[in-house]
Amino acid sequence: MSDASELPDSQEEEEVSLEPEDQSDDSSGEEAAGDTEMDFLRNLFSSTLGLGTTEKVLDDLTLEGVAQYIKSGKCKNILCMVGAGISTSAGIPDFRSPGTGLYANLQKYNLPHPEAIFQIDYFKKHPEPFFALAKELYPGQFKPTICHYFMKMLKDKGLLKRCYTQNIDTLERVAGLEGDDLIEAHGTFYTSHCVSFCCRQEYNLDWMKEKIFSDDIPRCDKCSSLVKPDIVFFGESLPVRFFTSMKMDFPRCDLLIVMGTSLQVQPFAGLVGRVSKSCPRLLINMEKAGQADPLFGLLGFGGGMDFDSDKAYRDVAHISTCDEGCLALADLLGWKVELEEMVKQDHAKIDSQDQKEKASEDSKAAAKTSSASVAPEPEKKEE
Ligand SMILES: [Zn+2]
């Protein structure tokens, strides 16, 4: 927790910082102890009194069952929880997860250990590796995927309560989710701030991009302190909005759609247990994830996913890419043509903007070279 200025005065939230995956088991136990206790009591009361019981909302634990439920009109507050898997088809590498080859690439930076590159204390002393990596991984184009547009479509149809994303690539914003629609749990590259407590000057993506690509370590124009993209590093707290919104959103959720995440980073992963007991949960992912720990399952808390047991009654796993899963669901809802059209039109718009930008950069570059070639024209030597 490096930044007290981001917290509200009445600091009622637990400070829960982002943990690397291998520590997630430990941190889940520590997660906002007060809340967990309340959830536990709530669950205990509701099961004792028969409130909020395991009512079966879906006729079928399939994508068809989910589509039917959405079409029934009873499902008005959809929450999406998304991770790196929704952006891989956009060519954006999974920034944090080991096994993507990313960590293997870090050897040249002489880090004490690979995660150091995302650790706030290390960054403040040695910002160079992070910015070198940011340059290497900077997406050539910010083009959202079918999955991103599916969420935009949920929004347009008045069904999306909010999207909770772990991604920092800003593609949700590019697809048209904005401000209130979005909780960027692990922060975003979209904005940056001066790290100095007394300054906190904000910078935008263009400013940061220019610094990154000119191999400058970004420093504040006002106070010369480091400037850091607003992504949450290990050792930093999650944005306050994450905690305040989650308390309002999850108990009221009618359908939780989890996409492209293996649900291993806390406290994000624990969100699946915060919806009501009857709320259906759809996972669209390349593998099953978020299943209940058998031990905690016996003890009655946890709230992990149960796709396969005899007692399964609300969790649906659709094993596919996020794009395929969203297209299939859109098809069942009768939205497929509309979704494909939205993707086509928006991608065309992005392409034409890119071309315009490129053309103006090219003409700037051309102007430079031509003026350069005009001005110091080498004198012609008479032979
Ligand atoms: Zn500053």
- The CA 125 to ligand 1 mean position distance, Å, reads 16
Per this entry, what is the length of the chain?
383
Q: How far apart are CA 174 and CA 149, in angstroms?
A: 10
- The CA 222 to ligand 1 mean position distance, Å, reads 5
Lowest mean pLDDT, pick from 30-34, 244-248, 285-289? 30-34
The answer to whether 86 is a known ligand-binding residue is yes
Given a contact cutoff of 8 angstroms between Cβ atoms, the answer to whether 338 and 153 are in contact is yes
Is pLDDT at 23 greater than 70 in this prediction?
Answer: no
Beta bridge partners of 285: 319
- The CA 43 to ligand 1 mean position distance, Å, reads 47
> Regarding predicted confidence, which is higher, 53 or 189?
189
In the block, residue with structure tokens 């880090």: 111
Residue 248 has a pLDDT of: 94
- The CA 108 to ligand 1 mean position distance, Å, reads 30
The answer to whether 110 is a known ligand-binding residue is no
- The CA 12 to ligand 1 mean position distance, Å, reads 28
> In 3-state terms, what secondary structure has residue 121?
helix
Lowest mean pLDDT, pick from 46-50, 94-98, 211-215, 360-364? 46-50
pLDDT-derived band at 313, boundaries 50, 70, 90:
very high
Give the model confidence (pLDDT) of 60-90 as tens digits: 999 999 999 999 999 999 999 999 999 999 9
- The CA 20 to ligand 1 mean position distance, Å, reads 29
Q: Where are the alpha helices (DSSP H) in the chain?
A: 24-30, 33-49, 63-71, 120-125, 128-137, 146-156, 171-175, 205-213, 240-249, 294-299, 322-333, 336-374
**What is the arithmetic mean of pLDDT over 51-60?**
77
Whether domain 53-89+145-184+241-348 has CATH 3.40.50.1220: the reply is yes
Give the model confidence (pLDDT) of 196-212 as tens digits: 999 999 999 999 999 99
Is pLDDT at 3 greater than 50 in this prediction?
Answer: no
The answer to whether 326 is a known ligand-binding residue is no
Residue 185 has a pLDDT of: 94
Residue 179 has a pLDDT of: 85
Lowest mean pLDDT, pick from 5-14, 228-237, 325-334? 5-14
Is pLDDT at 335 greater than 90 in this prediction?
Answer: yes
Of 243, 246, 82, the closest CA to residue 175 belongs to 82
Give the model confidence (pLDDT) of 208-252 as tens digits: 999 999 999 999 999 999 999 999 998 899 999 999 999 999 999
Is pLDDT at 300 greater than 50 in this prediction?
Answer: no
> Regarding predicted confidence, which is higher, 108 or 23?
108
Per the annotation, the verdict on 113 as an active-site residue is no
The answer to whether 145 is a known ligand-binding residue is no
Residue 380 has a pLDDT of: 45
- The CA 219 to ligand 1 mean position distance, Å, reads 8
> Regarding predicted confidence, which is higher, 199 or 20?
199
Q: How far apart are CA 228 and CA 208, in angstroms?
A: 9
- The CA 215 to ligand 1 mean position distance, Å, reads 19
Is pLDDT at 14 greater than 80 in this prediction?
Answer: no
Residue 345 has a pLDDT of: 97
Q: How far apart are CA 282 and CA 256, in angstroms?
A: 6
The answer to whether 199 is a known ligand-binding residue is yes
> Regarding predicted confidence, which is higher, 95 or 300?
95
Domain ranges of the chain: 53-89+145-184+241-348
Angstrom CA distances, 83 to 55, 97, 149, 265, 304, stand at 29, 11, 15, 10, 17
| Tokens read off for 327 | 């297209």
Is pLDDT at 121 greater than 60 in this prediction?
Answer: yes
**What is the arithmetic mean of pLDDT over 162-170?**
94
> Regarding predicted confidence, which is higher, 60 or 21?
60
Residue 175 has a pLDDT of: 97
Output the average pLDDT for the chain.
82
**What is the arithmetic mean of pLDDT over 20-24?**
41
pTM: 0.80
Residue 107 has a pLDDT of: 74
Lowest mean pLDDT, pick from 47-56, 120-129, 173-182? 47-56
The answer to whether 285 is a known ligand-binding residue is yes
Is pLDDT at 298 greater than 50 in this prediction?
Answer: no
In the chain, the amino acid numbered 157 is K
Give the model confidence (pLDDT) of 358-373 as tens digits: 888 778 777 766 655 4
**What is the arithmetic mean of pLDDT over 251-268?**
93
Is pLDDT at 31 greater than 60 in this prediction?
Answer: no
**What is the arithmetic mean of pLDDT over 7-17?**
42
Of 113, 126, 186, 193, the catalytic one is 186
pLDDT-derived band at 26, boundaries 50, 70, 90:
very low
- The CA 276 to ligand 1 mean position distance, Å, reads 44
Is pLDDT at 20 greater than 60 in this prediction?
Answer: no
**What is the arithmetic mean of pLDDT over 152-174?**
96
The answer to whether 321 is a known ligand-binding residue is no
Q: How far apart are CA 110 and CA 64, in angstroms?
A: 51
Q: Which residues surround ligand 1, an ion (CB under 5 A)?
A: 194, 196, 199, 201, 220, 222-223, 225
Q: How far apart are CA 96 and CA 115, in angstroms?
A: 8
In the chain, the amino acid numbered 288 is K
- The CA 2 to ligand 1 mean position distance, Å, reads 15
